[in-house]
Structures are given as structure tokens and as C-alpha cells.
Amino acid sequence: MSKPTQTAVNRRSFLTTGAAGAVAAGAGVTEVAAQGTITWDQTADVVIVGAGVAGLPAAITARDLGASVIVVDGNYDIGGRGMLSGGRVQLGGGHALQQKFNIKDTADQVFMDWVRHDDGESRYSDRDLVRVFADENVSTYQFLLDNGVEFIEKPIGPVDASTLPRIFVTKEWHIPAEVVAPHRARNGSGLVRRLTESARKKGATILLKHRMTRIIREQPMAGRVLGIEVKTPDRTINIRATKGVIVATGGHTGNVNFRRMFDPRLTEEYQQACEPYVSQDAGGELAAMDIGASLWATAIQTTETGAAITKTRHIGCRWGYSSLVYETDSVMFPQAKATGLTVKDWQDVIMVNQFGKRFWDENDDSHNFFNAAMAYSGDKSKLNGGGPIWAIFDVDGAAREKWNTKPPNVDPDGWFYSADTLSELAGKIKSQYQKQPMPGTALADTVTRYNTFVAEGVDKDFKKKTPMFKIEKPPFYAAWATPILHDALTGLRTTTDAQVVDTRGQVIAGLYCAGESQGGFAQHGLARCLVFGRVAGRHAAKNSA
Amino acid sequence: MTEAVTAAEPARHAASLAVWDIPAATTAGEHFAVKVGAKSSGGCGLGGCRVDVLDSAGAVLASGQLGAEPWPGTDALFWSEIELCAPSAPGLMPLAVRFSADGLVEPHDSGASPFHVAVVAAPDHVLTVTVAAAGSPVADAIVRAGPIRATTDETGRARLHLAKGRHEIAVWKTGYDAPITPLTVEADATLRVEAKVLPEHDPDAISTRTRSGRRELRVVGAGPNRSQAMTDDALPDRLCNNPNSPHYNEQVLSRDVGIRFNGKEKTNVEEYCISEGWIRVAAGKALDRYGNPLTIKLTGAVEPYFRDKTEG
Ligand SMILES: Cc1cc2nc3c(=O)[nH]c(=O)nc-3n(C[C@H](O)[C@H](O)[C@H](O)COP(=O)(O)OP(=O)(O)OC[C@H]3O[C@@H](n4cnc5c(N)ncnc54)[C@H](O)[C@@H]3O)c2cc1C
């Protein structure tokens, strides 16, 4: 079978034809009574949820092996977070481009690096998964080249747990209007657009605005996975997967309830780095867990080494993640509403919590800073989470940073305020996350105290290195600067073939997972998603269901 | 426009205040000026109103009348410049401004807003500081000794006018890192400060684990490419070798840190603090109930150094 087919089958007849494999007929029949009849609107060998960094290589790999492929994506366009990424791909093992720069790498070295005990980013990983990752690095790099992905020939590194330069950056997509966040080196756009081109050319069907809402298994907690339920803009359909369903939905950090399983501090005020283009809403994890799937290596989410949470670099807008700015000509600008003010030097601002109090050294960008920002703020109505964090500065600070404090640089609708005096500024701050007004005297007192630290050159409260500038000259500004969430570092448990495993340690036949929704390997970003996307696509295509 | 009110009280406006253009440092006994502005929460014009500057005992030192035009860039901040005289003793002088609503139709609530002025002793000497990085002069760097500051010129030079005594010279410029140099000024002198150009940070690189994102300083393993990794020779002001302490620093402690205390070599130091001038040393082999060594605090001059540096 090579092309998806439109079929409508009665679930009972489907089960009784024996296509369900090893499931006992009795159990299947009972289950039919419990779940009713399923009408399949479409069928393919391999059905992939998510046309992002893991889903696209899964689709191509499965097609290369002759399987028919349907990819569904809830978004209006492909790429997921990969579209917004910097395109820094950390693959090694001694691939062609590494060789060109005389970087002597091996699969074993990749493995040894990413299981290092002395690095928090590698320590907690499932070494069986890391071994597969290491062994698939060179072939994955070649796979990218074979499918049209272009790289800038400049090695970067070593970074993270790596001991050798392994990062090469993909070339940005050449049509700015299709980059989503143009003019900002979103080189990952080239990666996902090229892979999409190739996937389509090879005959994969990509259905946009198709959101998976349920994974259909023979029985709620037993038997094979049969397909998925999908919401389209106008209806709900069922897509049957004869060989496998691959969850490549990109992680969970946008789902407040889900992320708080790992860290109860992560309440609703923390925004998400990839919004508003895509949200990491844990849809894949939840659908899989509903049919029995397990999470894996959950410690990784909270090791305080990776980028689960990051400092806001563009302040005064809702989404100010380090590398992501939606300029006014971005298709996302109408939702993002502001580009933000990019902080060059944290000496130019102080940061205060919702009560107008400083909480840490503004220069620090370690997890010590995040821990202080998320500390109990004194809000008796909300004990978890640290509440909003605001950057406070004066007109001189804005001048030093060369900021224009007007829209479209800032969003005055909840994320940026200005006033003639500090106490007036405190009173003006209104945010859906600021549960009570900031006390004006508290903010003024904080600034007065900080100004004495500037005069003396010593921060007696938080040891900011030689506090440089007083905040005294009107007008005064408050800009949203609450830390912003980034990576999902844990997810569904899988085998080394990317087959999802249930809470009893049993493989869920016909269900796969790759990308940030997969648990077990702490590496940041693209490389692990690409590798395990291929692994999942390959195994699913070969699956003799 | 109006403040929140309770049913029993009549609506009252409030005036809030700002004080700016306070000199970074003022020489004892000299005159200086500050700007004082007031804003009405009710949007009232405050031109003509009086503002007073008070000392820490609440006595009025000087007064001014707010002008008719708001300060440029503000909605309605009416302001005045007020001249003051610095006291003869150096230090941080606490002052406050107070708004007087006399003569306004609408009554205005207003507390006193505190501010400080740094008063320094009259200078005796000139310290010429030259800032360079990678062999080139660094212009537009701020050089400071406490509140006294100057900016480097194209040749990387700045002149600080300082009184005799101990000073700490700090240098700051965005994109650079420079050590703080403690010194005692007894005559005109020169100081050369070697700054480091901070590597440009790729905003897509993940760097939340060390301070200021300088990941390449991380020391790990004995991998072939890591042996050169540690290039930073700065020792922190405070360091503790208990991993549970906030002053624990794995990166620094991965190298051998030696301590000279009051000029003598100490080998049993568990924690030190340079600025506060103390060390904690292990008291024999005794452990507390958490298994940490019991320590004794000794005060004196603390000089930490990297052993590998002095030996190599
Ligand atoms: C600003 C930014 C910069 C980055 N820079 C880098 C970098 O330089 N290097 C690096 O290695 N990594 C980088 N990353 C991280 C990298 O982009 C991600 O790790 C990677 O894209 C994750 O791949 P994925 O396939 O798991 O998810 P994604 O690429 O996000 O794809 C998931 C897809 O699934 C879809 N989806 C989700 N739920 C459903 C559902 N229920 N039904 C249907 N479809 C669904 C989404 O719409 C999305 O298209 C960056 C991320 C961001 C946000």
C-alpha cells in the first residue's frame, strides 16, 4: 500500500477480519460493545501527529520504506517550534561536515558525552536511548542532506555535554513571508520547509488544521492502537493507521496542569517560548496516557541545567523569549502585538515582583535567578508560583539601551506601563496575572534602597556586581519580564525503537513517540527529535500489523 | 484618575514625587542642585505649589516653587530645581522631599519621599585609570571609586579625583568584564585595568547554568578538548566548599584554591569571605549532625588564590 485511502469501515468487521493482530477475539468483541462502532474516514499505514521536527523525518522515512503516510497537524502551517528555531542542529559522530573541518568524532564519543555523570544535562538520560541516538547521528545528518536540508559550513561548540564541535546551523528559508518570524535568523525555517517539500514530493499527505483529539486503541487500556480521532475546522473524523500512530506533538510546557506535575511552581503566569505560533499543550502525552502510556525520566524536567525556563530578553511584551521576536511584518504580529525591548545590559533595569520588591541579582541568568523569581512572593491568595516579574527603569535607562518605549515595541495592554513617578507607575500596572495592585510606596522604597546601592557601588541585598545606575529620572517604566518557559525535557516512555510503553512496562502495539513529547533524553532541541523521528518512522513502516 | 476610596471618606487626591539629577557624588561642604517634581493623581495642575527638602530630622533645608510647565516627556509632572549644601562629613546623606498642597482647591495627600546624596571628602590626588582589553584601549567605560565616577576617553583613560585612603576601583562597560581593584591612594597614581571582552552570546544557545552565560568556563571531565576550558582566574568574594551552600561554586572549586589568612597559609578553610574579612576553619575532625565539619570563624585579611596558577 502506498497512498492513503478513503475508507469507512465498521469497527466490528475490521476487528473480525483479523487485522487487529494478536488480540483475542473475545476481548475485541466486548470492547466493540463498550466503544461502539468506529467509522474510519481515512486510512494510511502510518499516521503521524505533528508536522514538526520529529514528525517530518518520521513521514519521509516511512515513505522511503514504502508505507503510506498521513501527517495531521493542528496548526495552519507546518514546522511547529522547529519553524521558529535557530536551526542549530547538534549531530555528530563524525559526519561529512565534521570531517570537512577535521573534527574527529565517533558514535562512541557522542554516546560517552551524552551519558556523562558530571553534567546535569546528560546524567539522568536513559542510556539505551542515548546509544541509539549516538548510532544514528551520522545517518541522520546524511538523511537531512538527502532530503534537501542545507547547512552553513561553520562548526560551533563544544556546547552542552558535548566535548567536540557538533553544531551546524541550517540555512534559513529563502522566502521571508514563509519564515513566520522573518529577519531574525530563524534558520530552523529552512530545516522544516525543506523536509516538508521532500515529504510531499515523496507522497506523504499533510493535513493542516487537523488536530488529534484521541488515540483509538482496541480497548481503553489494552490491545493495538488502531488510529486517531481528529478535529478539523468543521467536523470530527477518524483516521485509521494500519501499522502505527506516531505522536510527534512537541511537548507539554504550554499546559499549566501538565507541567505542574513536575514543578508545582509553574503556575499560569509563565508564558511559553513558541507562542502564539504553536503551543506545547501536552495533547499527545495526554492522549497516550489516556490509553495507558507512561512518562519517563521525569527528573530531567527539573535538573536545573537545561532550558526548561529562561530569562525574558525582550521585555514589555507577552512573549520575550531569548531568540524570538515577531517583527511587525510577521504573520504572528497581530497576536504577539509587540516586538519587545531587547535588554543589552541588566544594569539598566531592576526587576521586582508583584509587590514591588527586588528578589535577586538582575545580572544572574542561572537557575538561582529563576528559583528566586518563582519563590513565594507573599501572595496569600496564591501560594505557588512567584507571580509576575517587572523590569523597572527610568528615562535614562531607556536612553542608554536606545529603547523607543512606544508601540509596536511595547504592548501597553497588560505588558508595559509608564508614569511620571514611581508610585504612580505601581498603581498603573494591570495584568491578568497581577492579582493585586503593586503598592506604590513599596516600589518607591525598593528604588530608593537600590539607588543607595548604586551610590556605594555595593548591592547589600543581592550582590549585583557594582550596581551602576540610579533609577530616578522621570518618566518611569514597568515592563513584563517574567521568566518564560522553553523546553519540554520529559515525556512518554518509549523503547529504543520509539514504541510507547505503558505504566506496567508493556509496549503499546502500534503507538510511537518522538520529539519533545518523548521522555528519556535530556538533549535540547532539534537533533534528538530528528533522530527519533526517523527511528519511529522506520519501525512503524516495518511493523507487520 | 482617582484613587480608590472607602465610602466614609471624601475622594482625596494624592501627590506623588520624584527627585532626579542628583549628582553621583558631592564634595563635602559644596553646593549642588536637584530637581524635584510632583504629580497629582487627580490630574490637577500643580504649578506654583511648594516643595520642601527635609533633613533626616525633618527640618526644612530648602524649598522651591513648582513651575508652570510639566517636565518634558511626562504627562503632568510639575517641577522645580532646588539648591542644597552638602554637609561637611562624607557619607550617604539621607534627605526627603515633601509636597505642600496649600493653596490648591482640591486637598492632596502626600507623604515625604526619601532620597540620598553621596557626600565625599575633598580630593587630594588624581588617579589615572587606563582600561584596555586585548591590547586595545576601551573608551566610554565608566570607572568608579564608590560614588565617584569618570568615563574613559579614546585612549582608555579616565581621571578620578580621590581623597587619601582606601578605594575600590570598578570598571564597567556593556560587553566587558573587569576585575575590581582595591588600592590605597597616597599620592597621584596610575592604574591599568585589563578588561575582558565578553563573547557574544547566541540567543539560541542554551545557557542557564552559569552566571552571565559564560558556559565555556565550565570545567568538566578530562576530555581532550576540555583541558583548556578554564580561562577565568577571578575568585569570588565568598566561597564555601559545602555543596549545599549558596556560596558553593563547583567551577572554582574544581581547581585547587589556596588561602592566605593574615599573611599565613591556611589549609583547613571551609569557607571565606574577602569583603567581610573572615574565614571558617574546620574544628578538628568533629562533624555536625548533618555530617558537615564543625567550624570556627576567624576574622582578618583573606587572600584566596589559585594554587595551579602560582605553581604553573
Ligand atoms: C525560539 C526557539 C528557538 C529554538 N532554537 C533551537 C535551536 O537553535 N536548536 C535546537 O536544537 N533547538 C531549538 N529549539 C527547539 C526545537 O525547535 C524543538 O526542540 C523542536 O522543534 C521540537 O520538535 P518536535 O517535533 O517535538 O515539536 P515541534 O517541532 O514543535 O512540532 C510539533 C507539531 O505538532 C503539532 N501538534 C501538537 N499537538 C497536536 C495535536 N494534538 N494534533 C495535531 N498536531 C499537533 C504542532 O502544531 C506542531 O506543528 C528552539 C525552539 C524555539 C521555540
Task: Report the separation in Å between the CA atom of A488 and the middle of ligand 1, taken as the mean of its atom positions.
Answer: 10
Residue A266, in any domain of the structure: no
Domain with A447 in it:
309-485
> Can you read off the three cell numbers belonging to residue A197?
517539500
Cell readout for A442 is: 513599596
Q: Which residues in chain B have their CB less than 8 angstroms from residue A395's CB? A: 73
- Quick check: is A455 in a domain? yes
pLDDT less than 70: residues of chain B: 1-11, 207-233, 284-293, 308-312
Q: Give ranges for CATH 2.60.40.10 in chain B.
A: 15-120
A80 within ligand 1 shell (Cβ under 6 A): yes
Whether residue A14 is contained in a domain is answered as no
Q: Provide the pLDDT for residue B286.
A: 66
Residues 6+ apart with CB under 8 A from A305: A119, A120, A121, A367, A522, B208, B209
Which residues in chain A have their CB less than 8 angstroms from residue B111's CB?
441
ipTM value: 0.87
Question: Cβ contact (<8 Å) for A347 and B174?
Answer: yes
Find the CB nearest A367 among B208, B220, B237: B208
**How many distinct structural domains can be found in chain A?**
1
Give the DSSP H or E segment for B78.
strand B78-85
Of A367, A427, A468, the CB nearest to B142: A468
Please indicate if any CB of chain B lies within 8 Å of the CB of A464: no
* Cα gap B39→B290, rounded to integer Å: 56
Closest CB from B37, B115, B144 relative to A448? B115
**Touching check for A85 and chain B: CB below 8 Å?**
yes
Q: Is A274 in the pocket of ligand 1 (CB under 6 A)?
A: yes
pLDDT tens for the 545 residues of chain A, in order: 444 444 443 333 333 333 333 333 333 333 343 456 899 999 999 999 999 999 999 999 999 999 999 999 999 999 999 999 999 999 999 999 999 999 999 999 999 999 999 888 899 999 999 999 999 999 999 999 999 999 999 999 998 899 999 999 999 999 999 999 999 999 999 999 999 999 999 999 999 999 999 999 999 999 999 999 999 999 999 999 999 999 999 999 999 999 999 999 999 999 999 999 999 999 999 999 999 999 999 999 998 888 999 999 999 999 999 999 999 999 999 999 999 999 999 999 999 999 999 999 999 999 999 999 999 999 999 999 999 999 999 999 999 999 999 999 999 999 999 999 999 999 999 999 998 999 999 999 999 999 999 999 999 999 999 999 999 999 999 999 999 999 999 999 999 999 999 999 999 999 999 999 999 998 999 999 999 999 999 999 998 75
Q: Which residue has the cell 574579612?
A: B277
Check residue A258 and report its DSSP letter: H
- d(C-alpha A114, C-alpha A134), whole Å: 9
* A394 within some domain: yes
Determine the atom of ligand 1 nearest the C-alpha atom of A284.
41
A70: in domain: no
Interface touch A441/B111, C-beta < 8 Å: yes
Please give the interface size between A and B, counted as residue pairs whose CB atoms are below 8 Å apart.
Answer: 149
pLDDT in tens, B193-218: 999 999 888 999 976 443 333 333 23
Nearest CA in chain A to B3: A427
Please indicate, yes or no, if residue A264 is contained in any of the structural domains. Answer: no
Q: How far apart are CA A447 and CA A355, in angstroms?
A: 13
Task: Determine whether the shortest distance from the Cβ of A321 to ligand 1 is under 6 A.
Answer: yes
Cell of B171: 570598571
Contact B92 A313 (CB under 8 A): no
Of A116, A164, A466, the CB nearest to B225: A164
A146 shares contact with chain B (CB less than 8 Å)? no
Domain annotation covers residue A238: no
If you take atom 41 of ligand 1, which residue's CA is the nearest one? A212
State how far residue A76 is from chain B, nearest Cα, in angstroms.
25
User: For position A410, which CATH number holds?
Assistant: 3.90.700.10
- What's the Cα-to-Cα distance from A229 to each of A38, A284, A502, rounded to whole Å? 10, 12, 20
Rounded Cα distance between A63 and A46, Å, is: 9
Residue type, A1: M
Q: Which atom of ligand 1 is nearest to the CA of A273?
A: 53
pLDDT of B215? 33
In a domain, A148, yes or no: no
Measure the CA angle with vertex B253, ends B247 and B259; round to 5°.
85
What superfamily would CATH give domain B125-197? Carboxypeptidase-like, regulatory domain (2.60.40.1120)
Which homologous superfamily is B15-120 in?
Immunoglobulins (2.60.40.10)
Task: State how far the alpha carbon of A79 is from the alpha carbons of A71, A148, A271, in Å.
Answer: 12, 15, 20
- What is the average pLDDT value for chain A, to the nearest integer? 93
Q: How far apart are CA A11 and CA A38, in angstroms?
A: 5
Give the number of the atom of ligand 1 that is nearest the alpha carbon of residue B205.
8
